[in-house]
Chains A and B, each alone.
Chain A
Amino acid sequence: MAAIQINLISGRTIQQGVSMENGKEKLAYRDACGILELDDAEFKRLGCFKNTNVRVSSEFGSVVVKAIGATQGPHPGLGWIPMGPWANAVVNPNTYSTGMPTFKGTPVTVDVAEDEVVLDAIALITEECL
């Protein structure tokens, strides 16, 4: 099983919106946003099946999410984590004097982390911050 390098972007999905309004403390929010969407070719390079937990790391942090097949793809070379605390654990916080963090286009490394769990939003933020 190899680690792969991809370009990470994040943004809204309808499941993200619905689960957020249903309560960010619920597991449905984790299931909607604690995911990484990858193309088939990326799964081959990574050497694992879909729906495997993976660790996504950048120079700004790292987080465990579940890798699933791209629902709005293909998008070769891109990884997608819906906006939320999981994506924000690894994005580039630099604003380059604009006030706006660089949420899209973070180079990340992905490797398989089968034995690790995807935390829910509150547990994740508590573990990272408190």
Chain B
Amino acid sequence: MAKIVTDVVCPFCGTLCDDLEVALSDDGEEILEVYNACTIGATKFLHSQAKDRVTRPQMKQEDGSWKEVTYDEAVEYTANLLVDAKKPLMYGWSSTSCTAQGTGSEIGEIVGACMDNTATVCHGSTLIAVQDVGVPSATLGEIANRADRVVFWGCNPAHAHPRHMSRYSIFPRGFFTGKGSKSRKMFVVDPRNTDTAKMADVHLQLEQGHDYELLSAIRVALRGEALPDFVAGIPKEQIYETAETLRSGRFTVIFFGMGVTHSLGKNHNIDIAIAVTRDLNDYTKAAIVPMRGHYNVTGSGQVWGWQFGFPFCLDLTRGFARYNPGDSSSNDLLIRDEVDAVFVLGSDPGAHFPVGSVKKIAQLPSVCIDPHITPTSAVSKLHVPVAFVGVEVGGCAYRMDNVPIETRKVVEPPEGMLTDEEFLQKVLTRVRELKGAA
């Protein structure tokens, strides 16, 4: 009889599903099956068991080959790299626990690092907009129970957050949404006819990059003013109708994603999406929620918020926190050749940064702390594999609506393998020694 672990939290996306069940072998060592998770979440658990997994740190040799080193040697290299650098970049922090993020910040403070998380390539623009104008928001539980108008703007949960619609936003029967999806009107705004759009009551297939204009047009329509015949490729009748439907609901929620944050306009697109939400609050209850990607990118912003007052793009080089996206942001720092060492934990800039930035990482002293082999580990000088947070060690993570959830340990990591937190603690101790601050 397999042993079933219940109430397991999925450490992949910001939906942070907390109802997974994992079947283990009799000895509790092997994951056999993952129930309730979407295919991405299940794959994450099962892949942690891969036979070809790297379990010891590896250092790149002159000839490009890899040589296994001990964790102590890896700690020594990492600590020296950070201490010797004038301006190291410590990037990532989104696939690890809040405790590890906190320890990382201590290191960053001592060595005077620039610290950035993956918001810099996903919802960074959102964070800027929220700091500029505030945000009327809600929890996913509230949305499951109340929302009868649901907008997905520039996001595709069918692919990026596969259980979001079934757990929170469209299908669940809530206290005031007893008929599930029949209680709700679903809108999708996307230049592609995505699998999410195919399920919607209304799909506004706008011209790519014209989000600001369309949001602005909805504000005009809400005020009952005149619109041109088409805005962003959408006929005015459809815009008036959309505004009317959103206004006439009992609870409207706008979920938005990379379509808004990555297109030109960036934080201004979100400013105006928030303005639309505010306008709707003149008539009904409305909220807006970013579809956060990594399972704990939200937590990283929270931790740095408590510690430094800013959620990403921290520059600690002067011994206190400065914040200036466009200046203290990873891609700008790399492209302008302003950092002299790179430390990556809990993210993969090698795959997800524009290639010009990755070229810079490849030229610098660098360490990549990640359970997987990734394009980042391939261009780094040192790769330190660690245990999977949420699978092999527990720890706190923040869901996309800023609700903290404690993830669970399901199995033991491979023998002798460190967790992020353990590795960071060792680096912190060594950094203190090297700095004479022990």
A-side interface residues toward B, CB under 8 Å?
7, 9, 11-14, 16-18, 20-25, 60-61, 70, 72-75, 78, 80, 83-85, 88-89, 91-93, 95-105, 121-122, 124-126, 128-130
Q: Is B352 among interface residues, defined by CB-CB distance under 8 A? A: yes
Residue in B159, B267, B354 whose CB lies within 8 Å of A101:
B354
A interface SS class: loop
Cβ contacts A to B, 27 pairs, < 8 Å: A7-B208, A11-B258, A12-B160, A14-B158, A16-B159, A21-B47, A22-B43, A24-B348, A24-B373, A25-B378, A74-B193, A75-B192, A85-B355, A88-B358, A96-B326, A98-B124, A98-B326, A100-B120, A100-B262, A101-B121, A101-B353, A102-B263, A103-B262, A122-B378, A125-B351, A125-B358, A128-B358
- Are A100 and B266 in touch, CB under 8 angstroms? yes
Query: Considering the chains assembled together, what is the distance between the CA atoms of A74 and B194 in angstroms?
Result: 9
For B43, list chain A residues within 8 Å (CB).
Answer: 17-18, 21-22
- B311–chain A nearest beta-carbon distance, Å: 11
- Are A98 and B156 in touch, CB under 8 angstroms? no
For A95, list chain B residues within 8 Å (CB).
Answer: 325-326, 329, 331-332
For A97, list chain B residues within 8 Å (CB).
Answer: 325-327
Interface flags for B157-196 (1: CB within 8 Å of A; 0: not) read 0111010000000000000000000000000000111110
Within 8 A of A (CB), among B1-58: 12-13, 38-40, 43-44, 47, 50, 52
For A14, list chain B residues within 8 Å (CB).
Answer: 38-40, 158-159, 162
Given contacts A14-B39, A105-B209, 4 further A-B contacts (CB under 8 A): A75-B191, A93-B356, A124-B375, A126-B379
- Are A89 and B355 in touch, CB under 8 angstroms? yes
For A105, list chain B residues within 8 Å (CB).
Answer: 208-209, 263-264
- Are B160 and A17 in touch, CB under 8 angstroms? yes
| Known contacts A97-B326, A99-B331; is-contact A17 B353 (Cβ 8 Å) | no
Residue in A25, A96, A104 whose CB lies within 8 Å of B209:
A104
- Are A103 and B121 in touch, CB under 8 angstroms? yes
For B335, list chain A residues within 8 Å (CB).
Answer: 93
For B330, list chain A residues within 8 Å (CB).
Answer: 99
